[in-house]
Structure 1
Amino acid sequence: MHISRRHLITTAAAGAALPQAVFARGAKEIGWDDLIPAGVPYSEIIGEGYMDERNDIWLPVFDDNATKLNPTLNGAYIKMPGFIIPMEQSTAGVTAFVLVPYVGACLHTPPPPANQLVFVTSKNPWPSNDLWAPVWVTGQMRHEVQTTEVAETGYVLTADEMEVYEW
């Protein structure tokens, strides 16, 4: 049996698209409490803090629980709601942002702990005129503690799909 080069390429392309199709149907819907590992109460990740009078901002001080991440979410395909804090933006929209649990987090209030923030990248820009709307973000999540301009984040998510969150 002779397999043409064209057949091999189209078969490989279809196979590469298959995992995304399987993921899209199997996204696990999660909430913000799910980002905290089992057995770590939210009250134990919020710490004291101090006022940076020079920059007029409150700086929270978190303990080690603030960077403890839920091991079941590393590599998981999830769907979660949140609000956008833009990090990379063009005329087409936002392609990188920090997903936060409430409006104004990191901007008007001290940032939540790292295990309550998700750094999101998306190939499809989110329209800049919808930045205050709550969103659903669907994609593959992984652990990666990193420092951004607005806060330290504990998770990274590659978004396959985004939509307005309807109450």
Structure 2
Amino acid sequence: MATYFVTALRGLLSLALIGGLSSGVAAEAPRQLKWADLIPKTMPADTVLKSKTFFGGSAPVTDAGPPPPPLPEGKFMSVKRHQPGDDRPPAIVSELNGKDVSIGGYVVPLDFDSTTVKEFLLVPFVGACIHVPPPPANQIIYVKADKGFEVGGQFDPVTVTGKINTSAAFTGLADAGYTLTADSVVPRKQ
């Protein structure tokens, strides 16, 4: 009878150990990011941009000089556009490097075939980098989706899940402070 209890106890301990190991091995859920999470908490106050509404208007930049001449049709991607803070390296949150994350935003396609997008910029608001000047680099994520995804509409929000890195990406449209290798790109309900 004592042998039976010892054997049963060993079996229970083995199951508990296996159960403990398997729960430790299970993948963690991706961290849900907000766009504010991409801005370092220690940024000096003069470098944090104050948000404005799209129609709120802004004062013209006085030290920018005269506006550039219009570009020939189809050449807008060949000229680097001014971004806030583009005179210094992007202020990023290095603790995010290599983490599995999930973040919502809007797609600015870079590499696509018909309606399948494989590379894009993920931005926090509609029209960023296209209709309005690009946001700071730490508010743009360069995303590579090897499988690609079908884009419904240019202004439809998506949620991207994958591994984020703090390496900058330089595109013709804007500089991105982060890169993300997407495991999934899923349309969001508005």
- For this structure pair, what is the TM-score category when the shorter chain's length is used for normalisation? 0.7 to 0.9
Q: Which structure dedicates a bigger proportion of its chain to strand?
A: 1
- Equivalent residue, structure 2, for 1:126: 149
Which residue of the other structure, out of 37, 48, 52, is the alignment partner of 2:67?
Answer: 52
Identity of aligned residues (%): 30
Q: 1:99 to 1:41 in 2, by over 3 A?
A: farther
Give structure 2 stretches of 5+ with no counterpart.
1-24, 51-60
* SS in structure 1 of the partner of residue 168 of structure 2: strand
1:66 Cα offset (Å): 6.4
CA RMSD of aligned residues (A): 2.8
1:53 Cα offset (Å): 2.7
Alignment of 1:30 with 2:53, yes or no, is no
1:40 Cα offset (Å): 1.8
State the one-letter code of the partner of 1:76. K
Larger Rg: 2
Alignment of 1:108 with 2:138, yes or no, is no
* SS in structure 2 of the partner of residue 110 of structure 1: coil
Deviations 1:28-81 (A, max 9, x none): 000110001122267624496736331489734526676011011111100000
The alignment covers a number of residue pairs equal to 146
State the one-letter code of the partner of 1:120. V
- Equivalent residue, structure 2, for 1:78: 101
1:22 Cα offset (Å): 4.8
Alignment of 1:149 with 2:172, yes or no, is yes
State the one-letter code of the partner of 1:35. L
Tell me the distance in 1 between the aligned counterparts of 2:83 and 2:148.
Answer: 32
TM-score, L = length of structure 2 = 0.67
